[in-house]
Amino acid sequence: MKTKKKKIIFYDNYKKDLQNKISSLTNNDLDLLKQDIVKTSKKKGVVYLLGNGGSISTANHISVDLLKNAKINSKSLYNDNLITCFSNDYGYENWMQKYLEYNVNNKDLIIFLSASGESKNILKAANFAKKKKINFFSLTGFKKNNSLNNISKNKIWINSSSYNKVEIVHFTLLAIIVDTIIGKTNYKSNL
């Protein structure tokens, strides 16, 4: 019986912690990112979503939702041929930056997803975007003064050192923004 109680307590604490992290996001933070996405669309720019690991899934999912449901041109860069080709030719730490060099311009928006804010490939891409004056927004966790936050003007930081919790909150806030752009939370898949 003690094991069952421990599981219930764990579940309850986990859910409560996620709720607190989501509730700590300010409407201003969410609205700033939403406005950046909408402005990019109005300029006929592309919203790029980049990340590593679990953030790839978030980038892919949100990119499809933006494109299909919100009618906003968006891309995530997770094509195995692209990653392996660019990593082989330029090095893993440089593949994102090289892709951006070939494709982005100052009408575009880049959303960087990094739980730690310390991934070298993302940092190189963010520094490239900053140098070229391409608008970007960072979603991070772990240490508040992580490297990505330190170079980002626009950012949302999640106060957690748990990869899963940071990635869940990143997904949730981006899904909220997609639904806010659409203007409703319940809609058919063939909008």
Distance in angstroms (rounded) separating the CA atoms of residues 118 and 145: 10
**Is the CB of residue 50 less than 8 Å from the CB of residue 121?**
no
Half-sphere exposure of 104 (CA within 13 A, CB side): 32
Taking the C-alpha atoms of residue 130 and residue 47, their distance in angstroms, rounded to an integer, is 16
Q: Which residues pair with 113 in a beta bridge?
A: 51, 139
Distance (Å, rounded) from C-alpha 119 to C-alpha 187?
36
The number of residues making up the chain comes to 191
SS3 109: strand
CA distances from 176 to 83, 126, 147, 171 (A): 29, 24, 26, 9
> What's the distance, CA 55 to chain centroid?
7
pLDDT tens track for 71-97: 999 999 888 888 899 899 999 999 999
Give the tens place of pLDDT for each residue, 154-182: 999 999 999 999 999 999 999 999 999 98
Distance CA 21, CA 27 (A): 13
Look at the pTM and tell me if it is higher than 0.85: yes
- Residue 14 confidence (pLDDT): 93
pLDDT tens by residue, 1-28: 577 777 789 899 999 999 999 999 889 9
The structure tokens listed for 85 are 């080709």
117 neighbors 147 (Cβ within 8 angstroms):
yes
